[in-house]
Structure 1
Amino acid sequence: MTTGGGVQHPPLKDEQQFDVIVVGSGAGALLAAIRASDEGLKTLVVEKTALVGGTSALSGGGIWIPDNHDMPKAGLRDSIEVAFGYVKACAQGLASDDRVLAYVETARHMARYLAQIGVPYRCMPHYSDYYPNVQGALPGGRTMDPLDFNAARLGLEGLALLRPTNPGQLIFGRMHINAFQARSMLARERKAKWMLMGIMARYFLDYPWRSKTRRDRRLTGGQALVGGLLAALRQRKIALWLDTPMESLTTDAGRVTGVVVRKDGQALRLQARKAVILGAGGFERNQAMREQYLPQPTNQAWTSTPPDANTGDTIRAGAAVGGKLHLMAHTWGVPTLDVPKEEKFRPLFVERSLPGCMVVNARGERFLNESGPYPEFQQAMYANHAKTGGAIPAWIVFDATFRANYPMGPLMPATAVPDSRLRKSWLGKVYWKGETLPELAAEIGVDAAGLVASAARMTEFARTGKDLEFDRGGNVFDRYYGDVNVKPNPNLAPIQKGPFYAIRLFPGDIGTKGGLLTDRDARVLDEAGKVIEGLYCVGNNSASVMGPAYPGAGSTLGPAMTFAYRAIAAIQGKPLALERTELLQGAPRVGQAA
């Protein structure tokens, strides 16, 4: 038996043997462990950090599930054929067609399994796919949001193991809201104020729980997802080793047979009789790997993922035993901003869609549709920076009217938290302010004439309802997070009332997309496209089935858990057959083993 480095080791002791060893504790890893246990397999989960959940726990928790079981309840229709065509177009030939088909066919079955193990989801009828102009896109229904989870099911001990969410996903840094409530409040629907009052009343009146912990009893989003999975893991008494990084894979005659981990300061060799499943995230926290693979400039500080994880250890370990790497130049991009004393940069997902703001480069010029999908936002920053040298960082600019009515990053609406109540240290670090646009331009080092001209054009676009430069608000996706009270375009409002504000944006990410290339059953492939026996990989540890694109909200977590679901079936010798193989006729394959 050898490690990936070829070092000989003596046989392992019986107590160090498991059927399946899962590396990582995000959604894909936990689902794999739970499913393996349900199949009667002795399973171990090893996690590098002291907390469970990885990036999944920080996420919105959404999963992108075509033709899911909840769509008919909302009067929506979908089909595997339409979904396959849409994802295939998005993947642009950078994911094998049979892997795409495996995903769109199996995702709905995985979603039903989640409900069976106590992690139910519901579809979001009005949340559009990210590319509404691509054939096969739907105006809503494929993205699903987890139902709220009662943290009491975990108990205080279990809750202490769950990685906390981002401050930006909580009301006043304390109270959870789900995706439906967040949309209602951002869009300023009539019911929003009453909804907010109800959320606050529920939290503050929950004296028994608040006397024990500051964390909300009601978990939503990624906290609900990982909380539910952790509860299912604990219910099954699956072994979970925290603070246990994997150092290498062991092999025998080309088959992966186990792992070497470091636990309590000691190196331990663990045998996996059936399989090792890698689900430990991407490499976005590894600066050297970022500089090797990603577009420049790049900085690990810009990412919004946990600072103590996602350093690419398991990607490198898989490559060391022959695994092929794929899509390494791609990330799940999102603009991010720096808030002092927070452990990581904040992602800016939705506030940029609200009317009365614009994003500019150093010339004061707009260069993108502010309301578009966040991966395209990040890519536009790189493209414009290559052209002008002034889009990294970029600036999101808004006026006093916007400031009064809407949140922006850590700034709550001024009607709730006026400037006088903001931290004094934030001025000039988190946000910049000027009484006039030329004053603001001087503060942030942007061309004043360009900024004034851009604001004037945006004000005119707001009047007509048509953005003649980037068609902001011109599709159903853009309008989802617009203000329903603003006419004629919910994403456009004048930028003309001082004082004016700006926040600095960086081309961040919520993870990398590249990793080990896998087949339709999550088996890792080598450079020749052959299966490496005993080695499986899911989530951002693997190359994305979506190729370079982001078809809809939940395109990370959905595939992570779906391929984990398929992996366990394959490990048990009962691989899930493809149902609609006629859709693959004549289709090229990317690294697919025979």
Structure 2
Amino acid sequence: MNSTLINLTGSPASALNATYDREVDLLVVGAGAAGMGAALVAAIEGLEVLLCEASTQVGGTAATSAGTVWIPGNHQSRMAGYDDTVDAAREYLRALIGSNSRDDLRHAYLEHAPQVIDYLRQNSKVEFVPCGMHPDYQDLPGAAAMGRALAPKAFDGRTLGKAFARVRAPISEFLVLGGMMAGKEDLPRLIGRFRSLPNFLYSASLFLRYAADRIMGYSRGTRLLMGNALVARLFASLRDREVPILFETRLVDLLKEDGAVVGVALQTRERIERVRARHGVILATGGIAHDNAMRQAYLPSRVPTHSLACPSNQGDGLRLAQGAGGAIGDAPASSGGFWTPASVTRMRGKHWGGVFPHLSLDRAKPGLIAVNAAGRRFVNEAASYHDFVLAMFASNLQAPTVPAFLICEQRFVTRYGLGLVYPGVKASDLTKHEAEGYLFRASTLSELAEKIKVSASGLIQTVERYNVHAHKGEDPEFHKGSTTLNRFNGDPSCKPNPCLAPIEHGPFCAMAVWPAEIACSTGLLTDKHARVLDPRGRPVPGLYACGNDMSSIMDGTYPGPGTTLGPALVFSYLAVQHALKMRHTGTHERASKADPSGSRPTMSGMDSLENLKAHPNEAS
């Protein structure tokens, strides 16, 4: 996997096209879930594939995600007794999105998704298990409460040996004791470890496993869950098939002949290399993510500062694909991203550090509201993380709502937790979070309002109005607790509404939450084969996009858990299958009109290769 290796084909260099340093069947850019998925399918199908990754690790944004995939009609859930159909999911998407020009992509996704999951299980280490109860995010015709969400099966990172260090770690806020992963099903047992012998033994086994990992020299725990398990399984499968991966290798240009993309220019640690790709180039570089110009162009005005995307995702794929003739889709209703409210954690040294995504563990619980600077509620707090942030954007047009503030009693925090403050915390332990500016606490609502700089009268009136109805289990203003998703994430012991309880007794607490994107929805326009399209809707020959480089088939909506990773895996598969078809038919697509430069390879995004060699820093 050394990026200085010149010839991966085994042929002498003189046998290659003199214009190129190497030649492969398929070149994949980006080693996240989509890129590794594409490279894996290519290897399974017998294609000679090369995977390059800009960072030193695999996984990208997927490594820090929940790892769930949304796969309607999957066989794993059916075998577990959960009833779901593709037709019902099609009805749900039609109710959610309507009908438009991307119906054929959604049809392709629904048609192929279950078989792709089975294909990966049969041909690799990639395996998913049913999540059971995990509702779709909207109560609409065709929605399902269970059966559509699949989670990666846990993976033992020790089987990777020293290569385990190549797997990007979860965000530190999701690690227990500084390095141990814990899933949603682990948390009740860990929190209640002293309440029963089974809980104690279960927790002890996790702690002992983690201690053994650290003693053996691992930088973190090797019991991998969620997105970390998914990317580790993909990585292990690539290693089994000896697929070469070039780390610290960034895409700097797409090379074209006769209007078709036939290769790439790569900036490795030592030099620029040109690679010919006989059957296509697949872009999976992570979307607009951390490219400032694209964030300004495609995200809301007053562009959100915080992002959960992998820092190495710099928009390379989209920028260069545009230079090669590809088109970026219009920003959808969600303003370019898939969103979550996130609290900003303060790390050692008093520097602002990472972000903690408030996905499902606290907002739906009874006794919590969210307010803007006017002290007014603006959303059903138990809505999906994506819809919560859309409501932040809408409210921000009327009153400052970035950040918004989660308001609750202190006893809510000690019972349910809040953000990085875990359930079961002692009231005395909240002091350190106050000192860090992460949590605000006060004896009265007016004092709390002063601390967080929101309208005291507005907050007091809002809480009083909320309490009147919360005592009855009702929320006529925002209907918290009215949907299947709301109730699933609430507290079933709270009657009559698992999501509602009054906020009456101090001390009171507040926490600021900001919009942070977990993925991009704006991306390159593609067809159902994941071929990149030009502004007139014609395929750019030889160029594919998947993952966050591909414009979301959901048109800015967020149907359910796994809305991004499901399509990432499915369209990476479909891209390879189309490239494979071109190989079997012995054809190579060309543009309808030849490139005016003739058959000589042309650089799409830079003036020339000589310019890159003269200014290597510009290419990195």
Confirm whether residue 201 of structure 1 aligns to residue 194 of structure 2.
Answer: no
Equivalent of 1:167, from 156, 159, 172?
A: 172
Q: Which moved more, 1:212-221 or 1:441-450?
A: 212-221
Query: 1:411 deviation in Å?
Result: 1.1
Q: How big is each residue's C-alpha offset from its partner over 1:404-458, in whole Å with a ceiling of 9 and x where there is no partner?
A: 1012111123x4354446536x536211111111100000111112212222233
Within 5 Å, which residues of 2 pair with 1:241-252? 241-252=246-257
Matched residue of 1:259: which SS? Answer: strand
Query: What is the distance in 1 between the residues matched to 2:20 and 2:292?
Result: 39
Distance (whole Å) between structure 2 residues aligned to residue 94 and residue 192 of structure 1: 54
2:130 is matched with which residue? 123
Is structure 2 residue 418 aligned with structure 1 residue 408?
yes
**CA distance in structure 2 between the aligned counterparts of 1:192 and 1:72, rounded to whole angstroms:** 35
Q: Does 1:488 align with 2:492?
A: no
1:520 and 2:528 correspond: yes
State the one-letter code of the partner of 1:232.
S
In the alignment, what sits opposite 1:325?
328
After superposition, the C-alpha distances for 1:147-170 in whole angstroms (9 at most, x for unaligned) are: 111111212x22111110023333
Contact 1:245-1:262 at 8 Å conserved across structures? yes
Paired amino acid for 2:35: A
Which AA in structure 2 matches 1:460? V
Counterpart Cα distance in 2 of 1:197 and 1:280: 43
Considering only aligned residues, what root-mean-square deviation do their CA atoms show, in Å? 2.4
Give the letter for the 1:381 counterpart: M
Cα deviations across residues 310-341 of structure 1 (Å, max 9, x unaligned)?
Answer: 22111011111111111434210111121123
1:456, 1:432 → 2: CA distance? 20
C-alpha separation between the residues in 2 aligned to 1:380 and 1:71? 33
2:370 to 340, 343, 359: 359
C-alpha contact 1:326 1:516 (8 A) present in aligned 2: yes
- Any conservation in 1 of the 2:439–2:510 contact (CA below 8 Å)? yes
Matched, 1:68 2:74: yes
Relative to structure 1, the CA distance from residue 196 to residue 422 in structure 2 (aligned partners, 3 Å threshold; closer, same or farther) is: farther
Match 1:553 to one of 548, 561, 566: 561
Q: Point out the more displaced range, 52-61 or 191-200.
A: 191-200
> How far did residue 179 of structure 1 move?
4.2
Aligned match of 2:383: 372
Q: Which has the larger radius of gyration?
A: 2
Distance verdict in 2 for CA 1:315–1:257, change over 3 Å: same
Is residue 156–residue 222 contact of structure 2 (8 Å, CA) maintained in 1?
Answer: yes
| Match runs of 1:110-509 below 5 Å | 110-116=116-122, 117-132=124-139, 134-155=140-161, 157-181=162-186, 197-206=200-209, 207-211=211-215, 212-299=217-304, 301-306=305-310, 308-328=311-331, 329-341=335-347, 343-350=353-360, 351-388=362-399, 390-413=400-423, 415-420=424-429, 423=432, 426-427=434-435, 429-509=437-517
Read off the aligned partner of 1:119 and give its amino acid letter: V
Identical-residue share of aligned pairs (%) = 34
Further displaced range: 226-235 or 447-456: 447-456
Aligned residue type for 2:309: T
Aligned-pair CA distance for 1:114? 2.7
Shift of the alpha carbon at 1:15?
5.3
Q: Aligned equivalents of 2:267 and 2:99: distance in 1?
A: 39
Aligned residue among 51, 59, 62 for 1:53: 59
The Cα offsets for residues 540-585 of structure 1, whole Å up to 9 and x where unpaired, read as 111001111011100100000001111111111189xxxxxxxxxx
Counterpart in 1 of 2:42?
A: 36
The worse-fitting range, judged by mean Cα deviation, of 108-117 and 272-281 is 108-117
Q: What is the CA-CA distance between 1:203 and the residue it aligns to?
A: 2.7
Q: Whole-Å Cα distance in 1 between the matches of residues 431 and 258 of structure 2?
A: 62
Q: Specify whether residues 452 and 292 from structure 1 end up closer, same or farther in structure 2 by C-alpha distance, changes over 3 A only.
A: same
User: What is the CA-CA distance between 1:14 and the residue it aligns to?
Assistant: 6.5
How far off is 1:77 after superposition?
2.0
Q: Distance in 2 between matches of 1:126 and 1:190?
A: 24
CA contact (8 A) 1:283 1:512 kept: yes
Q: Which amino acid aligns with 1:81?
A: D
Q: Specify the alignment match of 2:575 in structure 1.
A: 567
Question: 1: CA distance between counterparts of 2:173 and 2:568?
Answer: 24
> For 2:202 and 2:101, how far apart are their aligned partners in 1?
42
Between the aligned partners of 2:197 and 2:37, the Cα distance in structure 1 is 36
Q: Which residues in structure 2 correspond to 1:73-88 (within 5 Å)?
A: 73-88=79-94
* Deviations 1:274-315 (CA, angstroms, capped at 9, x unpaired): 11000111112122211122211113x311222x22221110
Contact 1:95 1:547 in 2 (8 A): no
Task: Indicate how the Cα distance of structure 1 residues 202 and 59 shifts in structure 2: closer, same or farther if over 3 A, else same.
Answer: same
Find the aligned partners of 2:197 and 2:257 in 1 and give their Cα distance: 62
User: What letter matches 2:401 in structure 1?
Assistant: A
CA distance in 2, matches of 1:49, 1:55: 12
TM-score, normalisation: structure 2: 0.86
Structure-1-length-normalised TM-score: 0.89
Query: Alpha carbons of 1:192 and 1:225: their partners in 2 closer, same or farther (altered >3 Å)?
Result: farther
For structure 2, which runs of at least 5 residues remain unmatched after alignment?
1-15, 584-620
Residue type of the partner of 2:49?
A: T
Structure 1 residue 193, shift from structure 2 partner: 6.8
Q: What are the ranges of 5 or more consecutive residues in structure 1 without an aligned counterpart? A: 1-9, 576-594
Aligned length: 558
- State whether residues 461 and 467 of structure 1, in contact with CA within 8 Å, keep that contact through their aligned partners in structure 2: yes
Q: Partners of 1:177 and 1:53 in 2: how far apart?
A: 18
Write the distance in 2 (CA, Å) between the matches of 1:195 and 1:129: 32
Shift of 1:125: 2.3
Compare 197-206 and 498-507 and name the one that shifted more.
197-206
Please tell me whether the aligned partners of residues 78 and 147 of structure 2 are also in contact (alpha carbons under 8 angstroms). no
The 8 Å contact of residues 332 and 510 in structure 1, kept in 2 or not, is answered as yes
